Amino acid sequence: MSPASNQIIVIFFAIITGFVCRKLKVMNEDTASAMSNVVVKVILPFYLFSAIVSSDAGVNNRQMFTAIWLSLAFFVLCGIIAVITVKILKAPKNDAGVYMFEILCSNATYMGIPVCAAALGASAEFYASVMCIVYNLVCFSLGVFLLCGKASFKKIFNPPFVAGAIATVLYALKVPVPQVITNATAFIGQATSPCAMLVIGSVLGSVPLKDMFSEWRAIPYIIIRLFGIAAIVYVLAGLLNVDETIRGMLVLIAAMPAATNSTMLCTIYGGNRALSAKLIFLSTALSALTIPLWTNFLV
């Protein structure tokens, strides 16, 4: 079994655990809401900070800023694809924002970074961590608006974005960070993916099983999410002669399933979290088959 396949199975196991916890009433609505706040506002910022400042990938500043600019272009491309996809699917008004968000944002942080590390190495992990600075900027501005119909300037300067930006500046300026700080932030940050997946599983546990497969638009969405965007990114990055490692990172991020952030953001700010949970569950389940295909293709 490849490292990427193993990572997917571990993540999916955490989702199932959250689902069982909800059914057994170990987790409830209040638990999911509280954990969502802790993950987004505390644990994730520590994770991104430690991943960047403690990286030994040997990436220079030119390569780092190239990855940032390409990440911006990546999200512009995904935004265009999202608009086209919603028009093709003719999604209802109340669902359109969720579909657009889940095209615009993949599971870049909780799944993308570990998979990039397992499949492509330390440099790809670093690039993916830096990309998440742009990701969180998009997610907490346009993303929150799409999911919840709300926009706030304060949300743009969210903890994950601020932590990633500070870490990038420290890395660029070669400012040494005491090991006790990197160890402490890494220790807390390790809880990011497990806690996020438990929340997703808990929300899924509140959705009747008969409704889980009732969304026919999920089928074309999953094809676009797991194959379409990644294929377009691969071709365009090749035409632009993008560095091979950055190209691989962008393709893998594009091939990730639906963003788990959506359910947590819907839980915090309000939104159709039942639909987001369905898209997350179905796309994550199928990604156990598709991501190994992409990693074998890229390696």
Higher pLDDT, 139 or 83: 83
Select from 79, 78, 139, 156 the least CA-distant residue to 271: 139
Q: At residue 212, does pLDDT exceed 70?
A: no
Q: At residue 207, does pLDDT exceed 80?
A: no
| Phi–psi pair at 257, nearest 5 degrees | -70, -175
Q: At residue 1, does pLDDT exceed 70?
A: no
Q: At residue 225, does pLDDT exceed 80?
A: yes
pLDDT of residue 245: 92
CA angle at 133 for the pair 253 and 86, rounded to the nearest 5°? 55
Residue 50 lies in a domain: yes
Residue 138 lies in a domain: yes
Cβ neighbors of 289 (< 8 A, separation 6 or more) are none
Q: At residue 236, does pLDDT exceed 90?
A: yes
Q: At residue 215, does pLDDT exceed 90?
A: no
Tell me what the pLDDT averaged over the chain comes to: 85
Residue 190 CB neighbour total at 10 angstroms: 14
Residue 153 lies in a domain: yes
Structural domain containing residue 145: 3-291
pLDDT of residue 79: 93
Would you place residue 210 in the very low, low, confident or very high pLDDT band (cuts 50, 70, 90)? low
pLDDT of residue 39: 87
Over residues 256-267, the pLDDT tens digits come to: 988 877 777 777
Residue 299 lies in a domain: no
Would you place residue 3 in the very low, low, confident or very high pLDDT band (cuts 50, 70, 90)? low
User: What's the total number of domains in the chain?
Assistant: 1
Residue 296 lies in a domain: no
Would you place residue 227 in the very low, low, confident or very high pLDDT band (cuts 50, 70, 90)? very high
Provide the CA 266 distance to its chain's centre, in angstroms. Answer: 15
Beta-carbon-side half-sphere exposure of residue 265 (alpha carbons within 13 Å): 28
Q: Are 126 and 18 in contact (CB under 8 A)?
A: no
CATH number of the domain bearing residue 21 = 1.20.1530.20
% residues pLDDT > 90 (the chain) = 28
Q: At residue 41, does pLDDT exceed 90?
A: no
pLDDT of residue 231: 96
Residue 77 lies in a domain: yes
Give the highest mean pLDDT range of 110-124, 157-171, 222-236.
222-236
Q: Is 113 exposed, middle or buried (0-12, 13-18, 19+ CB in 10 A)?
A: buried
Q: Whole-prediction pTM value?
A: 0.85
Would you place residue 36 in the very low, low, confident or very high pLDDT band (cuts 50, 70, 90)? confident
Residue 92 lies in a domain: yes
pLDDT of residue 181: 92
Task: Taking residues 100-116, report their average pLDDT.
Answer: 87
Alpha helices in the chain (DSSP H): 3-23, 29-38, 44-53, 61-89, 93-104, 113-120, 122-138, 144-148, 153-156, 159-172, 179-189, 192-205, 209-212, 218-223, 229-239, 244-254, 261-269, 273-298
Higher pLDDT, 227 or 140: 227
Residue 46 lies in a domain: yes
Q: Are 173 and 296 in contact (CB under 8 A)?
A: no
In order of 48, 96, 107, 175, 206, the CA distances from 130 in angstroms are 8, 29, 15, 17, 34
% residues pLDDT > 70 (the chain) = 93
Task: Taking residues 271-298, report their average pLDDT.
Answer: 83
